[in-house]
Structure 1
């Protein structure tokens, strides 16, 4: 019953997806934004402890609830942690009504042919086994597009779909995330190629396999409309990609059927020095703006 409830909520509930999955590469930037400088910690262990404290403040804030937040993407260490003695995936779903999702990629290769493929994931299977046991509904994996290279984009889309089919074999719903950098010299050109390659990948999926897509908000409004409407797509999410929340929300309003899945844009007003009440007020503003841009379109 829980799986069916999560699937129905993921596919159809109004709202957005919170991205709380900052990893080794993006964590220092997130901590700086939160008001914690690099000099405040020594090594990865202390760094991850600090980002975990920030995530717990967010997840336990009154504003962070299933009323407007459909799901939350977690980092592996977050999945394995607890809140008040309860595993975080269970806490999110049972106490907050928020679907737990999991980041599973191991980072990206150096750029080649205008893109960055995902690194090999030799520990993927045991991670997926743990995720299933902990009640995770779906997974996310990110690769990067910088240039409108037809061969490069075809390669990352092929890699994403290959891994996605493997993940689906565990009963999980994979999120495919080939991010087009907003600094790309031809962002619109890259996005047009990406849409066509994703369409090919969707058509080749086995019957009954559904995926989610997490994509940069496109330069051309409603570019991804065919993907939103595809029978094998459960939801299309938008990443903020470095846009401010105001800019990202304004752009998102012009893309029907696409909902927010912001990370930096969600936490840009949060600070370690604020009281819990002040943090909840700032988070509430971020949640309301992300919800409005996801649900009410121009």
Structure 2
């Protein structure tokens, strides 16, 4: 059963969702940006320990509160970790007023028909049950679209919604994320196909089946407005997709009803060498900028 208070916050509160879900292959890059080189640690355990320490520093910062950050997407190991002795999901909701989500995909398959589908998730149900028991509200899973190939995009959307229904069946709200690469030479054309495919799948959902959408900021402002307004959609959020924070925020500000769910753009100015005061000030400035682009539209 979906938590009603969390659902109300995610569906209507002003703010944005922080993506703290770098995992596996993306972790070294995130640590490098933070100022920790690969030569400074050995093995996955130490790497993930350093990554968790960075996330704890973010989550426990004064500016990281439910007033502006309404949700946070977690990597599985982060969900299983703690902040000052309290499990991360309950800490986020009870101490910070932030709704916890869980990244559930296992990475991407090789590109075919201009897209990368998600790898199989044979252990998804046990993960969803464990997440629900820990207080997780919803999930996130990512596919990638590199070309405006109709068959490829249709396959991405079909897979996303098939897994989405499995997630709904476990009492969680899925974030459907078919990312269109900002480097795609046919980005705008891909978005035309994608919007139609998503709309078709949304229309098939029953009255009690709800999803969220996470999409690349469209080339044409407000292009996803029909999806924002769809009765089956709890909220539409935008990924930063490799844009700088300034560029991502500027583009987002022209898309009404769409809020941020940024990862790299959230942490790009944070450094391990910062004093606590410097870290807090930098994170607060970032949160204010992303919040502004999510709430105050051009």
| TM over 0.5, shorter chain | yes
Indicate if the aligned counterparts of 2:125 and 2:170 stay in contact, CA closer than 8 A: no
1:195 corresponds in structure 2 to: 195
Q: Which runs of 5+ in 2 are unaligned?
A: none
Matches within 5 A, 1:158-237: 158-237=158-237
In structure 1, C-alpha distance between the alignment counterparts of 2:152 and 2:2, rounded to whole Å: 39
In structure 2, C-alpha distance between the alignment counterparts of 1:175 and 1:238, rounded to whole Å: 11
2:52 corresponds in structure 1 to: 52
1:138 corresponds in structure 2 to: 138
1:109 corresponds in structure 2 to: 109
1:295 corresponds in structure 2 to: 295
Shift of 1:44: 1.4
Indicate if the aligned counterparts of 2:2 and 2:172 stay in contact, CA closer than 8 A: no
In structure 1, C-alpha distance between the alignment counterparts of 2:92 and 2:120, rounded to whole Å: 30
- Say what the alpha-carbon RMSD is for the aligned residues: 1.0
Structure 2 residue 90 is matched with structure 1 residue 90: yes
Shift of 1:256: 0.2
Shift of 1:172: 0.3
Indicate if the aligned counterparts of 2:107 and 2:119 stay in contact, CA closer than 8 A: yes
Shift of 1:206: 2.1
Shift of 1:135: 0.6
* Secondary structure in structure 2 of the residue aligned to 1:234: strand
- Choose 243-252 or 44-53, whichever is displaced more: 44-53
Shift of 1:207: 2.2
TM-score under structure 2 length normalisation: 0.99
* Secondary structure in structure 2 of the residue aligned to 1:140: strand
1:108-130 Cα distance to aligned partner (Å, 9 max, x none): 10101100000000111110010
* Secondary structure in structure 2 of the residue aligned to 1:8: helix
* Secondary structure in structure 2 of the residue aligned to 1:141: strand
Instruction: Give structure 1 regions of 4+ aligned residues with deviation exceeding 3 angstroms.
Output: none
* Secondary structure in structure 2 of the residue aligned to 1:111: coil
In structure 2, C-alpha distance between the alignment counterparts of 1:182 and 1:48, rounded to whole Å: 28
Indicate if the aligned counterparts of 2:2 and 2:173 stay in contact, CA closer than 8 A: no
1:36-95 Cα distance to aligned partner (Å, 9 max, x none): 111111121111111111000000111100010000000000101111211110000000
Shift of 1:290: 0.5
TM-score under structure 1 length normalisation: 0.99
Cα distance, 1:245–1:138 mapped onto 2, change above 3 Å? same
Cα distance, 1:64–1:184 mapped onto 2, change above 3 Å? same
Structure 2 residue 239 is matched with structure 1 residue 239: yes
In structure 2, C-alpha distance between the alignment counterparts of 1:168 and 1:284, rounded to whole Å: 34
Structure 2 residue 3 is matched with structure 1 residue 3: yes
2:42 corresponds in structure 1 to: 42
Give the number of aligned pairs.
298
In structure 1, C-alpha distance between the alignment counterparts of 2:157 and 2:72, rounded to whole Å: 24
Matches within 5 A, 1:229-268: 229-268=229-268
In structure 1, C-alpha distance between the alignment counterparts of 2:226 and 2:108, rounded to whole Å: 28
Cα distance, 1:170–1:2 mapped onto 2, change above 3 Å? closer
2:119 corresponds in structure 1 to: 119
In structure 1, C-alpha distance between the alignment counterparts of 2:38 and 2:219, rounded to whole Å: 34
In structure 1, C-alpha distance between the alignment counterparts of 2:201 and 2:216, rounded to whole Å: 18
1:127-174 Cα distance to aligned partner (Å, 9 max, x none): 001011001000000000000000000000000000000000011000
Shift of 1:2: 8.5
